[in-house]
Structures are given as C-alpha cells and as structure tokens.
Structure 1
Amino acid sequence: MVRYSLDPENPTKSCKARGSNLRVHFKNTRETAQAIKGMHIRKATKFLKDVTLKKQCVPFRRYNGGVGRCAQAKQWDWTQGRWPKKSADFLLHMLKNAESNAELKGLDVDSLVIEHIQVNKAPKMRRRTYRAHGRINPYMSSPCHIEMILTEKEQIVPKPEEELAQKKKVKYFTRKDTLRFLSFSSMSWVVSMYR
C-alpha cells in the first residue's frame, strides 16, 4: 500500500486519491493544486473547468519567473496568472476519482472539502535535441506525483439572532486615541494655568 504524506484527522469521514509519474508539468500542477486547496469539491470542479475555458486564471505565486500579468489574477490579490489546461484536466480527473472513492465509502459527496493536496517531483524523463556543430542537448520532461485527501465537513450551525443582538460594542482605545486624549487634557491644563 502506498504511503500518503499526511494522515486524515478522521479516516472514516475522509477519502483519498493519488497519481504517480503523471506526464504533466510539475510547476504548473503545483500552482493549480495550491489554488484549489481548501475548496469544496463542487467549487474546485467548476474552477478547474473555468481554467480550461480561460474564464478564471491560476495565480502563479512561487514559480512565476517570466509569467505574464493578467486581470483575472486580481480576485486572488495577485498580478501573475496563467491557464494551465493540462494540469487542470489531470486534477479534474483526480477529483472525479476521489469522488467515486467517497461514494464507495458512503460519504456525502456535496460536503467534501479538499483538506490536503500535494504535488511532488517525479524522476525526470530524458530525451535529446540536436544542436549546431554536432552537439546534443538534453530535452527533459518534469513529471509529478499528486496526492489529495478530501474530508466531509460538518455544517456550521448559525448562532441565534437574540445572542447577536445582546452583544454590546466595546470601544477599545488605540495608542493614537490615548495620545490625542492626553494632548487635549495637557492643553486644557496649560490654558487654566495662564488664566
């Protein structure tokens, strides 16, 4: 059995999926995986489909050397972004696999959240390209391993409105307010002294 890098907190409410030696760029896949981490499964699926259609972009935060800027990255509070179609397709395939694993376990698919997703480098595959003057340069690919754990999250019960209404607003003085207050009180003391 293959070992995952993280054990789920509640194994009965979790499902796993993984892929090894996938022929898809490591850097693009890592950035796409970070974008969907913590999302609900339906939201992540919609996001990845939008990436393939270029409706939403993936923000490139770590591997962003030479990556152009795009307006769609603003919603992530970032400037650089791309649309890695192949990475999105591979992650969609893995989400589908995890969803079928959850159904087999009897979990509620609609409440699944991506708790853990990790992309690791796989051994590179070597090819060659022919250059001028009889030289040969390497032409390497960068495959990757992907693993994900999805967990069924409990529904958060909202607080009753009565409790929210009873809470009073407490004004905390900041350092600026305190200095302002002290300066006004010292000014009034100086004025009263010279009267």
Structure 2
Amino acid sequence: MAMRLLRPLHPFFAYAASHAAAIPFRSIIALPVALMLLASSGGSVLTTDPAQLALLAPSIALAWLITFTLLFAIGALAFFLTQTMAIANLYFGLYSLLSGYMMPIELLPRPIAAIAAWLPFRFMLSAPVELMTRPLDREQLIALLGGQAGWAAVTLATALLLWRAGVRRFEAVGG
C-alpha cells in the first residue's frame, strides 16, 4: 500500500483502470452466451425504443461506477478492520439476491422486492437489463437513471471518505 500511496496517480484511479481493464476479457466469455440467449429468444425481448437504446451506455457506465465504488469502499475498510472477507461475502450475498443476478427482483416476496427496488444492488445489474428489455415511460426512465446517478454519487462519496479516513490512520514500517 505504501508504494501505491507514493505514486503520483491516486490509487482510486489505478484501481479503477485495473477494474475496467478486465471488462474486455469478461466480454469475450459473456458475449457468446448473451448472443446464444438472444438467438434463442428470437431477439424480441430487446427494446427498439431509440431513447432507451441511447440511455443504455450511460446506464451501464453508472452500473459499473456503483459496483466499483462499493468494492473500493469495502477494500478501504481494511484500513480499519483486520478482516474484511466477511463483509465482502455479505456484499456478494446481498448483491446476488437483490440485484436480479440470481432471479428477477419481481420474483422476490413483495416486501423484499420493495426494499430491493431502492438499494444500490438493483442499479448495479437489473437497471441496465430493465432498460434493454422492458418498455419504460419517461418517468420510469428518469427514476431508473436518477436512481443510478444518486447511488453512484453516494457510493463514490462514501468510498472516498473511507479512503481518506483510512489513509490518515495508515502507518508503514520497514524498508
């Protein structure tokens, strides 16, 4: 960590570049699967609305930013805790259940689905999928992207505040 702190580039950007660099490699695996699923559904599941298609790239970028900043915040907790694996496991469990990763959010019991609709997990995965596959009116589009932008701001601020507080506590020894 001491070496990262000595570099002229803030570690946030170094970690972001590393995280983003994995996207092409993940795409190599995910794209054929997505194309097979699309072919088997006849392509009729995708929206043809130009407004929704235009908002897809910003939605995916916001989803990535929320995901990255949440993971960065969990990593920054290592400044304060000796073991963050339990927190990372809790995060992955909540993400898997409440993002639509394991099943559509609509299949969750109503009270849990209502909570999931407002947590950041939905905006990390389900929101871009909803944008791509469901007809949404103007208010729904604003709510969806507004929710993503709001959670991106909250998670970014939280991650950077945790980082700043952690760096103040950080001590390096040895040579």
Query: Which TM-score bucket, shorter chain as reference?
Result: under 0.3
TM-score (normalizing by structure 2):
0.28
Bigger fraction of residues in strand: 1
TM-score (normalizing by structure 1):
0.25
Bigger fraction of residues in helix: 2
